[in-house]
Amino acid sequence: MRALTPRLWLVDFEGTSGLIRTTNLEKDAAIAALNRIDAMAGEAVQVRTVGTSGTIRAATRKYLTPKARVRRKPTKEPL
């Protein structure tokens, strides 16, 4: 990824999912560059963009942590 333009940083990786950081100005170019990747370390890979976010915290919560998808129960009991 370091050879790609625009500059990308691997922030987090869980199993088969990862979080890449770039600037907001280079977002579209970064997505296009990632989608062109077809091999890493001699192994065939398929890179798919799941979504984007404004912050690393929100992206981690939305796309990497399964617990984020669980809705919280209401705190008040219905009458």
Write down the mean pLDDT value for the chain.
81
- Residue 4 has a pLDDT of 64
Res 62: pLDDT = 87
Residue 41: which domain range?
Answer: 9-68
Give domain status of residue 2, yes or no.
no
Structure tokens at 14: 């869980």
User: Percent helix, strand and coil across the chain, each rounded to 5?
Assistant: 30, 20, 50
Q: Decide if 78 is inside a domain.
A: no
- What is the tens place of the pLDDT at every residue in 6-16? 788 888 887 88
Q: Domain for residue 20, yes or no?
A: yes
Whether 46 is in a domain gets the answer yes
**Residue 55 pLDDT > 50:** yes
* Tens-place pLDDT, residues 28-51: 999 998 898 899 889 999 988 989
- As for how many domains the chain has, the answer is 1
The residues, any chain, with a CB within 8 Å of residue 4's CB and separated by 6 or more, are: 33, 34
